Structure 1
Amino acid sequence: MELAFLSPLYEHPGSWASAYVDLSQHGEDMHSLRRLTADAVARQLREQGADEAICRAVYDAVASLERSAEPLGRALFARDGEVVLQVPLAQAPPRGLVHWGTLPHVTPLLDLAGEDPVSLVAYIDRTGADFELRSAVLCEEAGHVTGSRQWPMHRAKASDWSERHFQLKVEETWEHNAREIAGALAACQAETGADLLILCGQERECRSVHEQLPAQLRDRAVEAAHGVNSRLLPREVEEIRTRHVRERILAEMDRYRSARTSDEERRAAAVEGVPPLIEAAREHRLAELLILPDGPDTRREVWIGEDPDLLAERRGELSDLGERHAWPARADDALVRAAVVTDAPVYSLAPVLEETGEGVPAGGMGALLRWR
């Protein structure tokens, strides 16, 4: 999961409130329902030591969600009496997931916001295509392309030379339009940064567009089995998106397993456990961080300084590094902060736990390294 959008949370040191709010319950009196939720969140923060300005800011933000169209939930992060960031959730969070601490508690986002590929869905026919941008919380039109050739479109029965010639013209029209659709789809992908392309339509049209895509996009494209008018298509699109996420995480786990093998100098390109991860984070060597959110090491206390690369197992170690200030923090939140500021993606292993088995990093956290 790319977490660059979390960067505003790490621009200023200080205590943070993190609240994951369930919006899946709906009733006639949404005003009262959200106020009750806001009361519960503010009360939990107050009990954990948050000041009144933070409690009021979070209360107001949660209470205002009575007008939200999001069906599942939202995460809110606040400091100094202000809600700094709100993130829509792809799953309803468990009740009571509220945290007050030195760092924002972002690890639950890995599963609740989800490894959510931005998907570009193309509804294709022989004359053109409609594009739709889709994620767990987004579904919006992304453009339309009409092929410059609109005739001839349909084959005739081949019985003489003229009709066979007409069929060739039909084939040329299809292929010409497929090239234009593929070009427009590639341009839309470049503009939106979509991770996945889903081609919907008749098999012939989808295959032609797939083959005309630039080489670097063909592996990102998947052809749906159901046609545009099938009532099963929406479910299939979501299944394709889910399968894409699982395959991507499994591929990262395969890379991680291979990287754990030491070279001739007994150095590995992957590490696990808090001490080696801290060392790698201090040296900016984290290439990818892998986390099992309920792993035992995620809750371990570590010590952090103002800069994201200043973290240690013990407070005294930061003094040895010349850091004058030190605060306790959860190990997962400290390591995620270090990953975010060095542009290292973070993946939750929860979706593939059954398939990875013994390959999960010890303690629930591991990393691929930029260098050994």
Structure 2
Amino acid sequence: MDLAFLNAVYANGGPYVCAYLDTSRTAEEPDRETARRSRRVCEALVDQGADAATVAAVAGVVGCDREIAGRHGQAIVAVRGRVVLAEELPVPPARDEAAFTALPDLMPLVVQFAPGIRYVAATVHCLPLPYAEPADELEVACQAGVWPGSAVAPGDCHLMRGPAVSWLDGAGQEAADGIAALACSTDAEAIVLAGIAWVRNVLADNLDGRWRKRTVTCDGDGYPAPRGRALMEEELAAAFEGRLRSADRARVDLFQARRTGRHGAVEGLSDAVAALQRSQAGTLLLNVPVGFPVELRVGVPVLRTGPPEADPGPYGALGFCAGPAGAAVIRAAVRTGAELIVVPRDQLPLTDGLGALLRYAGPERAPHPHGPAVG
């Protein structure tokens, strides 16, 4: 996963307001429930010393972007009266959280966006015409996305229609070409087909060899999608369960080979942090569920409500005193341009749940006598 989209969060320094909320629309009165959660979060931030302008900025974006059906959440980061990040989360947080802090904890956000597989979903269904047989007209709906983030941030849904009688006489090829063109333009690595079995089989047969090898067919229809949700969400979840991007799978294999040879890879929180300090970590590997064993000690002054200190560079403020290690690790990865791969623990158990592929040869172990520290 490329973490460059988080650069703007750290651009101006803190202190930050960081909030995670359940904005699901499953309650009897969802708008009232969201407003109640927003008030509680804002009250907690005021109690922690956050300024009124920043609290108001957070309140202004809670649940207001668009209406999304079902269960979901929202992550918000704001600083000095301005929201610098507001992202929809496919899964709501276990509980609403809000912190006024020197460093925002973005670990829960990035974990939800992994593995980040680019795909095209296509499903075919009958479109009855007036006074005609139900199967006289067929419609193909297709949509590109990046799984699983696009579950609650879907792209445009493209529709292609045609008579069923012409499906074997060119219409199937035309639809397959349209799906392949969308996959090419979005750099997709998978096509997922659903809907009427014989029609999706025609689609698969009409894809060229490059895409046929990357195609997954599944039962179900998935159309129409609920408001604000991705097309074929359940089918996509089943197709991508436990799967990594192909590039990430190659990096995981490389990490395992280097780990065996004890060169070019490190493992454990202390050694991974040391590699980040040297800007040596090219790719971080992170186990889920996340469970770092310790907090990360850093050389940052105690949080003040006055003007923030000037940012001392990539390493001088990678975390905050007695704070979560995950917050510091993610910031360090963003600031040093390291990519992130989230790997289920049962696929690749890592010491402390963290490992790193190194960009260049050099010292790969830097023991910390009092535990990991940055600053």
TM-score, structure 2 as length reference: 0.70
Contact 1:90–1:114 (Cα < 8 Å) also in 2: no
Bigger drift between 303-312 and 16-25 goes to 303-312
The whole-number CA distance in structure 1 between the counterparts of 2:105 and 2:266 is 23
What's 1:158 paired with? none
Indicate which of 131, 136, 139 corresponds to 2:151.
136
For the pair 1:366 / 2:355, whether they are aligned, the reply is: yes
Give me the whole-angstrom Cα distance separating, in 2, the residues matched to 1:60 and 1:127. 43
Residue identity matched to 2:28: G
Q: Which structure 2 residues correspond to residues 1-372 of structure 1 after superposition, within 5 A?
A: 1-24=1-24, 26-28=27-29, 30-31=31-32, 33-62=33-62, 65=64, 68-69=67-68, 71=70, 72-113=72-113, 115=115, 117-124=117-124, 129-133=140-144, 135-139=150-154, 141-145=156-160, 153=166, 173=169, 176-201=170-195, 203=197, 205-226=199-220, 238-248=234-244, 251=249, 253-262=252-261, 266=262, 268-292=263-287, 294-297=290-293, 299-303=295-299, 306=311, 309-311=314-316, 328=321, 330-341=324-335, 343-349=337-343, 352-353=344-345, 355-356=346-347, 359-372=348-361
Displacement of 1:113: 4.8
Does the Cα contact within 8 Å between 1:290 and 1:366 map onto a contact in 2?
yes
State the TM-score, normalizing by the size of structure 1: 0.70
SS of structure 1 residue aligned to 2:104: coil
What are structure 1's unaligned runs of at least 5 residues?
A: 155-169, 314-325
Match of 2:306 in 1: none
Native 8 Å contact 1:224 1:237 kept in 2: no
- Which amino acid is 1:76 matched to? I
- Once residues 241 and 111 of structure 1 are traced to their aligned partners in structure 2, the CA distance between those partners, rounded to angstroms, is 15
Letter in 2 for 1:42: C
Secondary structure at 1:84 match in 2: strand
**2-side partners of 1:13 and 1:36: how far apart?**
30
Does structure 1 conserve the Cα–Cα contact (< 8 Å) formed by 2:144 and 2:183? Answer: no
Q: Percent identity?
A: 26
How far apart, in 2, do the equivalents of 1:178 and 1:17 lie? 52
Pair 1:75–1:312, CA change in 2 (3 A): closer
Deviations 1:10-41, CA, capped at 9 Å, x for gaps = 2222221110011225233834x334322321
Instruction: Report the residue type matching 1:69 in the other structure.
Output: I
- How far did 1:224 drift? 1.8
Q: Aligned in 2, Cα 1:367/1:247: closer, same or farther, shift over 3 Å?
A: same
Q: Which amino acid letter does the alignment assign opposite residue 187 of structure 1?
A: A
Shift of 1:136: 1.3
How far apart are the structure 1 equivalents of 2:10 and 2:295? 20
User: Retained in 2: the 8 A contact 1:308–1:334?
Assistant: no
Q: Is the 8 A contact 2:223 2:231 kept in 1?
A: no
In 1, the alpha carbon distance for the partners of 2:236 and 2:5 equals: 25
Tell me how far 1:184 sits from its aligned partner.
1.8
5+ long unaligned stretches in structure 2: 126-136, 225-229, 301-309, 362-375
Which shows bigger deviation, 84-93 or 183-192? 183-192
Supply the distance in 2 between the matched residues of 1:107 and 1:70 (Cα, whole angstroms): 25
Number of residue pairs matched?
325
Distance in structure 1 (CA, Å) of the matches to 2:79 and 2:221: 49
The amino acid that maps onto 2:121 is V
**Does the 8 Å CA contact 1:22/1:73 hold for their aligned counterparts?**
yes
Sort the Cα spacing of 1:216 and 1:49 in 2 relative to 1 into closer, same or farther, 3 A.
farther
Contact 2:138 2:164 in 1 (8 A): no
* Letter aligned with residue 179 of structure 2: L
Q: Per-residue displacement from partner, 1:63-86 (whole Å, max 9, x unpaired)?
A: x64974354221110001222211
Large movers: runs of 4+ above 6 Å: 125-128, 227-230
Secondary structure of the residue that 1:261 maps to in structure 2?
helix
In structure 2, C-alpha distance between the alignment counterparts of 1:255 and 1:219, rounded to whole Å: 24
Take 1:11 and 1:229, find their aligned partners in 2: how far apart are those partners?
41
CA RMSD of aligned residues (A): 3.9
Question: What secondary structure is seen at the aligned counterpart in 1 of 2:242?
Answer: helix
Q: 8 Å contact 2:285–2:341 — kept in the other structure?
A: yes
One-letter code of the match for 1:302? Answer: V
Which of the pair is proportionally richer in helix? 1
- The answer to whether the 8 A contact 2:143-2:231 is kept is no
Q: Secondary structure at the match of 1:123?
A: strand
